Every structure is written in structure tokens, then in C-alpha cells.
Chain A
């Protein structure tokens, strides 16, 4: 089953080892140590903000969600059970804060992904042959430009597909956890992820095929 790999298993392994830094920091937080709160914001906040910026189009919303996540965490310290890293727990809270913000802002029907998905003939082959992508070293694009390009294309994906791509491929959540967060089934998540990847591939293709740039 293609789930539960990568960062999630790493986080759980860390918890099993009982990271001393986490235990000590948690003690200080629960004791109300002001410097401990600042320390946590500075060490964990960057990654949370990066996540929020990927999920939310507006910088103001991203910062608000990070703030909400920290405040929620500070109020819930006594409920943190230590089964994951403190930063992992915070990250999950941030994901939920961003999802709630997206739900509250949802006004328009989701745009269709159909134009970005491959079409298949009756024999299972694609209607249009795929042009091989140039090897990375021949693409002529610097690495940072590529990252900017990919981030911009991810932002173009319809929200329900963008969110699944971000949670599964980038945040490393497994299928079941993603499904629970989004209130849907594992099967739906797998389908959405595949379509999101196909759509992103279509958006990136013009930049990586022969004759581009």
C-alpha cells in the first residue's frame, strides 16, 4: 500500500526515541516559559508559514492561519500526547487551520480539470503521443526558476486537487490521514492525487519538452 512512508514514519520514529529536546521544550511551555513560546514560533513557524503560503493564495491569510495555529496549540498543550514530534503536531494544526480558511472562503464552483487530463482511446493508449521531456541538465532553466515555475503551476490547480497534492506529495501525509482531514475516502484521495499529478504534468510539459525555451 503506497502510504505511511517518508516523513510520517520519520516523525513517529523520533517520538519513539523520546526526543529530549521536545520533552524539555514541552515542560517549559507548560510551565509558561515566555522564551520557550518564542523559541517554538521561530523554529517551527517557518515551515508552517511555507505550508500556509502553498495552500492559501493570500499572504495575509497564510500569516493569519499560522497565528491561529500557534494560539490553538498553546491553548491545547495539555492535550498533546507526545506520540509525534511537537513540530509534527503543530504542522497538523496548521494544515487544519488552512483547510478551515479555504472552506470559509469557498464561493465559486470548482473549475474543471478535464482540459489538463490525458485522453485515452478505446485500446487504452493515449490519444496523443507523449513527447519525452528533456533531461534536467538540458532544460536550460536554473533550479530556483524551476521551483518558482512549479509553485506557480501548483497554484493554478483547482483547490480540491491542489490541496491533495500539497498534503500527500509535499507535506508527506499518508492517504488515510489526508482522507480524514478532508472528510472523504481514501479512494477519493487516490483519484484526486492522480488527477492532480496528471494536471500538473500537463501544465509543466510546455517548459520541459523539445522546442521549449
Chain B
């Protein structure tokens, strides 16, 4: 995760990069890990989920006045 987040030292990153050049499986894992993070963020960006039901607006209004 530190590699993905850019939190490795230059030396550590360099060593990791050298490993990736020789390991297709790790490259595939890293790619799928990054895509997973991106998919999670995209799943939360649905504009259709941004409407407030009118009954909730009314419930909040009523509760505030109590």
C-alpha cells in the first residue's frame, strides 16, 4: 500500500520497481489493487444518490420544531 500511496523511500521504491520488472504476477496484482481503489471511489460518485427524500426533509423540519 505504501508503494501505491507514494510513501516508500526512493531506495525502497527503486527496489520495488526492479522487482516489478521481473514479476508479471505482481504487476497484475498492483494493477488490480489500483483499479479496486478507483472503482471504490467511482462507486460513491453516483449523482442519483444525492437527492433527499421529501419525507426526510419534512421529518427533520418537524423534529427541529419540537
- What residues make up the interface of A, taking CB atoms closer than 8 Å to B? 1-2, 37-38, 41-42, 45-47, 49-50, 53-54, 63, 66-67, 70-71, 74, 118, 125-126, 129-133, 136, 143-144, 146-147, 150-151, 154, 165, 169-170, 190, 193-194, 197-198, 200-201, 204-205, 208
A151 pairs with B43, CB closer than 8 A: yes
Distance from A205 Cβ to chain B, minimum over Cβ atoms (Å): 7
Using C-beta atoms within 8 Å of the partner chain, give the interface range for chain B: 35 or more
Which of A41, A125, A198: most chain B Cβ within 10 A?
Answer: A41
State the total of A-B contacts with C-beta under 8 angstroms: 114
Shortest Cβ gap from B43 to chain A (Å): 4
Q: Are B43 and A37 in contact (CB under 8 A)?
A: no
Q: Which of A70, A136, A143 has the most CB of B within 10 A?
A: A70
Q: What CA separation (Å) do A194 and B59 show in the bound complex?
A: 39
Picked from A2, A37, A130, the residue with its CB within 8 Å of the CB of B32 is A130
Smallest CB–CB gap between B4 and chain A, Å? Answer: 8
Q: Is B10 an interface residue (CB 8 A)?
A: no
Most buried by A among B1, B31, B44, B56: B44
From A1, A42, A71, A74, contact of B57 by CB (8 A): A42
The yes or no answer to B42 lying at the interface (CB within 8 A) is yes
Q: A48 — nearest CB in chain B belongs to which residue?
A: B52
CA distance A42 to B53 in the complex (A): 9
Is A42 touching B52 in the complex (CB atoms < 8 A)? Answer: yes
> Among residues 23 to 52 in chain B, which have CB atoms less than 8 Å away from a CB atom of chain A?
23, 25-26, 28-29, 31-33, 35-37, 39-44, 46, 49-52
- Measured between beta carbons, the chain B residues less than 8 angstroms from A143 are 42
Contact B44 A74 (CB under 8 A): no
Is B18 part of the binding interface, using a Cβ–Cβ cutoff of 8 Å?
A: no
- Report the bound CA distance from A7 to B33 in whole Å: 22
B11 at the interface (CB under 8 A from A): no
**A42–chain B nearest beta-carbon distance, Å:** 6
Given known A45-B52, A130-B28, A150-B43, contact A70–B37 (CB-CB < 8 A): no
Q: How far is the CA of A133 from the CA of B35 in the complex (A)?
A: 9
Give min CB distance, B56 to chain A, whole Å.
5
Do the beta carbons of A46 and B50 come within 8 Å of each other?
Answer: yes
By Cβ-Cβ distance, the 10 closest A-B pairs, closest first, are A2-B5, A46-B50, A45-B52, A150-B43, A130-B28, A130-B29, A194-B1, A129-B25, A50-B49, A201-B36
